[in-house]
Structure 1
Amino acid sequence: MNIPSSAPEAAPGRLARNRGFQRLWSARVLASMSFQMLAVAMGWHVYALTKSAFALGLVGLSQFLPMFLLTLVVGHVADRYDRRRIAAVCQGVECAAALTFACGTFGGWLSAPVIYALAACVGAARAFESPAVSSLLPAVVPRAQLPTATAWSTSASQTAQIVGPALGGLLYGVGAGPAYIACALSFAVAAVLSSSIALQARPAVRAPVTLASVFSGIAFIRSQPVILGALSLDLFAVLFGGATALLPVFARDILHAGPLALGLLRSASAVGALTGSIWLAHFPLRRRPGLAMFGGVIVFGCATIAFGLSHNIAVSLIALAVLGASDVVSVVVRTSLVQLRTPEHTLGRVSAVNSLFIGTSNQLGEFESGLTAGWWGAQPAVLVGGVATIGVALLWMKLFPALRETRSLEHEETRAAAGAG
């Protein structure tokens, strides 16, 4: 059987009546929206201060370094303590950082180094928040609903990436201070929602901390070629294809537009991603998810090239929307593989490594884009990145045949047992 007997439980209507999922979804929307608003404000602010594409890359690097250094710690924290409380505390720290941005703006002392330092604080908070929130989902919804819930959770992030950048650009047009205050308020509400999520599953027993347990997330991923292939494919594809760090350059110097246009550009990819995630929520990838992931990455690279060649804002918006729609396939496949193939007691540690891969591809990708743009210019950097993304997808199809040939998001034996039941 292709569909488990419990599949009716995965209907979107059942999720809509799950109060724990509602609060988790809402908290993710608000926290992600606030982060996107903050990203627009930080990017425009530092570029206005420095006129340097390399400085934009340093903002991404500042967020990535804490995530990289804390990877092994945050996974253990997510597996040993209340994940709701972790998420709420981290969102409170992000709220405090946004308020500091606002105070620095109104006080006139917000310089580029201060922005880098605050970006590092936000990066550290997100390092703890991301695996905690990601590993909450299996405790909030039944297992049969996980693929659909994952798609809807992805739509939460994409909804935030549509509203957040556009709202951030609009508010920044009024003033940097109001934009930062709006971020702080959104983070504060997200923290309240996260702390009140109801769980359906009991937390796992806390295992003692040992050297083996610290590295168990990495060891598990290495033992699973399908998961390793999916994570590394997404890592290198987005690392090379990450053009979002250069959007302030494109908006201001190539498309000759302002901060509102920057917000629209950042929202465009999320519009495509939201469309894709809603489609996947209604029509989950039940067959050949690995092949679908490879196809999505190749389309992602082609859309990146189209964006790099564009001098027209309408064409740029369409290219970014296609880019977002293709990227969401990779996101849903990767996240579903992690959640469905990882034991619950180590899910936090595996999710932490997953978050590191995401952070590497996003934040370190922003640094790579800023660095190459400083060498060659913004458009050549994006074009080279798009070509490299396609090359990575083709190479990974040869290096990870298990991912290419996988027929289900779950282990074949688990899927067969569910079908038999």
Structure 2
Amino acid sequence: MTAVPLSRNRNYTLLWGSQAVSEVGFNASLIAFPLVVLAVTGSPAASGVVLAADAIAQLVVGLPGGALVDRWDRRRVMLWCEAVQAVSLVSLALALWQGSASLPHMVFVAAVMGACRALFEPAEDATLPSVVPDSQLATAVAMNSARSSVGQMAGTALGGFLVALGRWVPFAVDAFTHVVAFVGLCFLRVAPRPVTRAPMRHLGREMLDGLRWVWQRPEMRATAVCAVVLNLFFSAYYLVIIVLAQGRGVPSSEIGVMAAMLGVGGVVGALIAPHLVSRLSPHVCIAGVFWALTLLAPMAVFVHNGYLMGALFAGMALLAPTANTTISTHQLLLTPDSMRGRLSGVMNVVVGTAAALGPALGGVLVELLPGSGAVLLCAGGIAIVTVMVTVNPVLRAYPRKDVMA
């Protein structure tokens, strides 16, 4: 029997559509946050504190969040996350409108947003295999990646415009998008699953079970280690490129295009990912993005035009969805439903930690080395991990999706 296309899968379109709206609002408020904090407090350091609160909350809640998602009703987790974010954002929008917003209030809202994402993302990831058949899981994962890229591009562009209308406007719009997402998720229908009533003191053990599950599976361990190193060096590389572009006198408008082209490459890559995954071996799908980065990253030394650098960024992002689709599909199919929340929580924390440390590394490199030297050092780090991926016997024997299913 032929599976219903994803476009006609009611539950998947509800989940995808509700989060497409929510991600636009989230990215709009994310780009607005440092601008608004700076306007309210006059302190660039305060802007950093607010953004750090979001990132720290996401990392701190990541592991326990994944364990809780495996205990609780995942649809309710997603509904509560949307509701809590909407309420917190409304409180901030009202405070800004009345001129009474404070730094602690903004830090609190940022932390709430980070914590809710740390719960929502494992809940959505773990729910996905219950919403689509195994044969369409790779396509669903790729479409979710495209959704994130589109949300980032649209939300980032919208955020600056909304701030110009009023400091409170981006957060009011974000709150509205969470309300829309909440309503959409109310109509989502997922097969019921057992809800665990274990004492909270067992939560630490359950978190360790999630860590152990990832570590004891060689292909998960190998992909996690390589993803950490790649994210660390690429996050550093991204910051180095922005600083280098500013130093070369590249206009801010061109720098904005550079950043946007990462999203463009991600969207195009997500659209072609299902076709590449079905035609190429898993090892080629995974190694492809590493080799693309290795070949393209050093070219930034010779590129002085923001638009050309944007084209390089698009090329770097093009194959990332194919690798992510290959890895995520394999992990979801291999992992039992009772562990999928913890799997997502562990991977989010591991990769998120590397992405958070990367800009700090990039800042140090910019201080210690000339721009070209910092670029080449980051490119060298990416090249080293590319060799690791290419020769690693576990990744070379990575199982195909049809074998896993």
- Structure-1-length-normalised TM-score: 0.81
Give 1:138 deviation, angstroms: 0.8
Q: Distance in 2 between matches of 1:192 and 1:308?
A: 49
What does 1:212-231 correspond to in 2, within 5 Å?
Answer: 212-231=205-224
1:153 matched to 2:144? The reply is yes
Corresponding residue for 1:336?
Answer: 329
Contact 1:57–1:369 (8 Å) recurs in 2: no
Counterpart AA for 2:19: R
The offset of 1:204, in angstroms, is 4.3
**Residue identity matched to 2:14:** R
Q: Is 2:400 the partner of 1:405? A: no
Please say which of residues 388-397 and 82-91 is displaced more in the overlay: 388-397
Indicate the residue corresponding to 1:241 in structure 2. 234
Q: Distance in 1 between matches of 2:43 and 2:217?
A: 45
| TM-fit CA distance, 1:39 | 2.5
Match of residue 206 from structure 1 = 196
Closer/same/farther in 2, CA of residues 256 and 58 from structure 1, 3 Å limit = farther
Contact preservation (8 Å) 1:150, 1:336 = yes
Cα RMSD of the aligned pairs, angstroms, is 3.4
Please say if residues 240 and 374 of structure 2, whose CA atoms lie closer than 8 Å, have aligned partners that are also in contact: no
- Within 2, Cα distance between the matches of 1:304 and 1:169? 29
User: Could you say if the C-alpha distance between residues 368 and 66 of structure 1 is closer, same or farther in structure 2, counting changes exceeding 3 Å?
Assistant: farther
* Matched ranges for 1:2-81 at <5 A: 8-9=2-3, 14-45=5-36, 61-81=52-72
- Report the CA distance between 1:91 and its aligned residue: 2.4
CA distance in 2: counterparts of 1:173 and 1:318, whole angstroms: 29
**Secondary structure of the residue that 2:252 maps to in structure 1?**
coil
For 1:220, the aligned partner's letter is W
Q: 1:409 is aligned with what amino acid?
A: K
- Do 2:67 and 2:342's aligned partners in 1 also have CA atoms closer than 8 Å? yes
Q: Identify the residue that residue 296 of structure 1 maps to in structure 2.
A: 289
Q: Equivalent residue for 2:310?
A: 317
CA distance change for structure 1 residues 170 and 195 in 2, over 3 Å: closer, same or farther? same
What residue number does 1:256 align with?
Answer: 251
Shift of 1:408: 0.9
CA distance in 2, matches of 1:227, 1:47: 41
- Give structure 1 stretches of 5+ with no counterpart: 1-5, 416-421
Q: What is the Cα deviation at residue 122 of structure 1? A: 1.8
Q: CA deviation at 1:220?
A: 1.0
Seq. identity, %:
24
The offset of 1:50, in angstroms, is 7.1
Q: Aligned pair in 2 of structure 1 residues 352, 394: CA closer, same or farther (>3 Å)? A: same
Asked if 1 retains the 8 angstrom alpha-carbon contact of 2:72 and 2:195, the reply is no
* 2:353 partner amino acid: T
CA–CA distance in 2 between the matches of 1:377 and 1:347?
44
CA contact under 8 A between 2:273 and 2:319: conserved in structure 1?
Answer: no
Deviation at 1:311, TM superposition (A): 3.8
For 1:110 and 1:127, locate their aligned partners in 2 and report how far apart those are by CA, in whole Å.
25
Residue-by-residue CA offset, 1:180-221 (whole Å, 9 max, x unaligned)? 32222222212222233122x432453746454332111111
Aligned residue pair count: 399
CA distance in 1, matches of 2:185, 2:242: 32
| Partner of residue 387, structure 1 | 380
Say whether the 8 Å CA contact 2:73–2:195 is kept in structure 1: no
In the alignment, which residue of structure 2 is the partner of 1:143?
134
Equivalent position of 2:178 in the other structure = 187
C-alpha separation between the residues in 1 aligned to 2:394 and 2:400? 11
Greater CA deviation, 57-66 or 184-193?
57-66
In structure 2, the CA distance between the partners of 1:394 and 1:166, relative to structure 1 (3 Å rule), is same
Kindly indicate whether the alpha-carbon contact (under 8 Å) linking 1:44 and 1:248 is maintained by their aligned counterparts in 2: no
Does the 8 Å CA contact 1:164/1:267 hold for their aligned counterparts? Answer: no
Q: Call closer, same or farther: CA 1:134–1:371 in 2, change over 3 Å.
A: farther
Q: Deviations over 1:260-281 (max 9, x none)?
A: x666444321111111111123
Give per-residue Cα distances to partners, 1:366-417, cap 9 Å, x unaligned: 444455556668876555434322322223444x42113324136x4x45xx
CA distance in 2, matches of 1:128, 1:367: 26
The yes-or-no answer on 1:273 pairing with 2:266 is: yes
Distance 1:402 1:40, change over 3 A: same
Assess, with a 3 A threshold, how the Cα gap between structure 1 residues 39 and 306 changes in structure 2: closer, same or farther. farther
Contact 2:81–2:117 (CA<8 Å) still a contact in 1?
yes
Residue of structure 2 equivalent to 1:419:
none
Distance in 1 (alpha carbons) for counterparts of 2:148 and 2:390 = 28
**Which 10-residue stretch deviates more, 154-163 or 92-101?**
92-101
The unaligned stretches of length 5 or more in structure 2 are none
SS state at 2:319 partner = helix
Contact 2:62–2:345 under 8 Å retained in 1: yes
Asked if 1 retains the 8 angstrom alpha-carbon contact of 2:257 and 2:306, the reply is: no
**Alpha-carbon offset, residue 70 of structure 1:** 2.2
Question: Deviation digits for residues 13-67 of structure 1, max 9, x if unmatched?
Answer: 6111111000111122122222222222234556777786x87765554333223
Moved more, 204-213 or 348-357: 204-213
Distance 1:340 1:66 in 2: 29
**Residues 1:353 and 2:343 aligned together:** no
1:84 alignment partner in structure 2: 75
Q: Determine the C-alpha separation between the residues in 1 that align with 2:81 and 2:228.
A: 24
The one-letter code matched in structure 1 to 2:393 is P
TM-score (norm 2): 0.84
The CA deviation at 1:174 is 4.4
Q: Does 1:365 align with 2:355?
A: no
